[in-house]
Amino acid sequence: MARLVERSIIVTGAAQGIGAAYAKALASEGAKLALCDLAPPDETADAIRSAGGTVLARACDITQPAAVAAFAAEVEREHGGIQALVNNAALFGNLALKSLEDITSEEWDQVMRVNVRGTFECIKAVMPAMRRQGYGKIVNIASATVFKGAPMMLHYVASKGAIVALTRSVAREVGDAGIRINCLAPGLTMSANVEANQDWAGRIVEANIASRCLKRDAVPDDLIGALVFLASGESDFMTGQTIVVDGGSVTH
């Protein structure tokens, strides 16, 4: 039986790659999807509709609070509520590996603005609907790099460390309102953007695979089971937690 029947779920960064895989998987479990990205995620939405799913797709910059609030209000109005939010939108696949001395202040601020403040803006935007319902599930996307202290990507790792801390703090603040918030922390996953980035080729990927208990590439489908669990009622007595899905590179 589908585990997300009639749940209204927002997925950010759903135009391609892992976000698109998340959206399609949630729809296959019966969820009503609301998707956003910088450009309208129409291709993902069309695939969901073709499979018989219900979906709303909009362009939305998650760093713009008015736009995010308007999107959340439309989702609540059109779908009758917001049961879950998947905070997937982030800068990663197109980032170049570089030493901390080579990361500019502007690039640092851009990564923090999207990865941390964008996540905050989305959480803030769904709070009114979730408080009215007395229920909600928020799934933040962190990264296994937080637990490794991965080098050459300090801004990204720091931003995802902030997401783990944010998740724990929000869990304490909104638990009494019936809202649960947890993190999914993937390892290096071979999405289209990662595969196109030459910094994630050859020995770096090989070394990452060698560090795993399960020695193979990670693909977006490897993350689906944990995501559906966190978005469903099966995890209703979990909050403030981080689940690492990386083939056992990190044992957290």
The pLDDT assigned to 1 comes to 66
Asked if the structure places residue 19 within a domain, the reply is yes
Asked if the structure places residue 128 within a domain, the reply is yes
| Number of independent structural domains in the chain | 1
Spatial contact of 19 and 60, defined as CB atoms under 8 Å apart = no
CA 1 to CA 44: how far, in whole Å? 24
Q: For residue 109, give the H/E element and its range.
A: helix 105-112
The pTM of this model reads 0.96
What's the rounded mean pLDDT across residues 172-181?
A: 98
Strand-pairing partners, residue 162, are none
User: 137-163: string of b/e by CB count within 10 Å (b at 16+)?
Assistant: bbbbbbbbbbbbebebbbbbbbbbbbb
Per the annotation, the verdict on 156 as an active-site residue is yes
The pLDDT assigned to 2 comes to 86
Task: Name the token pair of 146.
Answer: 């937080």
What's the rounded mean pLDDT across residues 173-196?
A: 91
Give residue-wise pLDDT tens across range 49-84. 999 999 999 999 999 999 999 999 999 999 999 999
Task: Name the token pair of 191.
Answer: 């999405």
Spatial contact of 178 and 237, defined as CB atoms under 8 Å apart = no
3-state secondary structure of 11: strand
Q: Tell me: pLDDT of 179 over 90.
A: yes
Asked if the structure places residue 2 within a domain, the reply is no
Q: Tell me: pLDDT of 192 over 80.
A: no
Spatial contact of 165 and 119, defined as CB atoms under 8 Å apart = no
Asked if the structure places residue 45 within a domain, the reply is yes
The pLDDT assigned to 36 comes to 98
Q: Which residue has the higher pLDDT, 199 or 35?
A: 35
The pLDDT assigned to 21 comes to 97
| Amino acid code (one letter) for 138 | I
What's the rounded mean pLDDT across residues 37-57?
A: 98
Which residue range(s) make up the domain with 152?
Answer: 8-245
One of 156, 162, 239, 245 is an active-site residue; which one?
156
Q: Tell me: pLDDT of 114 over 70.
A: yes
Q: Is the dihedral of CA 79, 133, 30, 24 positive or negative?
A: positive
The pLDDT assigned to 195 comes to 74
Mean pLDDT value across the chain: 95
Q: Tell me: pLDDT of 18 over 90.
A: yes
Distance from the first to the final alpha carbon of the chain = 31
77 contact partners, CB below 8 Å, separation of at least 6: none
The pLDDT assigned to 231 comes to 98
Task: Name the token pair of 98.
Answer: 């570089």
Percentage above 90 pLDDT, the chain: 90
Spatial contact of 182 and 166, defined as CB atoms under 8 Å apart = no
User: 20-43: string of b/e by CB count within 10 Å (b at 16+)?
Assistant: bbbbbbbbbbebbbbbbbeebbee
Strand-pairing partners, residue 35, are 11, 57
Q: What is the CATH number of the domain that holds 47?
A: 3.40.50.720
The pLDDT assigned to 245 comes to 98
Q: Tell me: pLDDT of 200 over 70.
A: no
CA 136 to CA 83: how far, in whole Å? 5
Percentage above 70 pLDDT, the chain: 99
What's the gap between Cα 173 and its chain centre?
21
What's the rounded mean pLDDT across residues 22-39?
A: 98
What's the rounded mean pLDDT across residues 209-223?
A: 95
Asked if the structure places residue 207 within a domain, the reply is yes
Q: For residue 69, give the H/E element and its range.
A: helix 65-79
The pLDDT assigned to 202 comes to 75
The pLDDT assigned to 203 comes to 81
pLDDT-derived band at 191, boundaries 50, 70, 90: confident
Closest CA to 120 of 72, 158, 87: 87
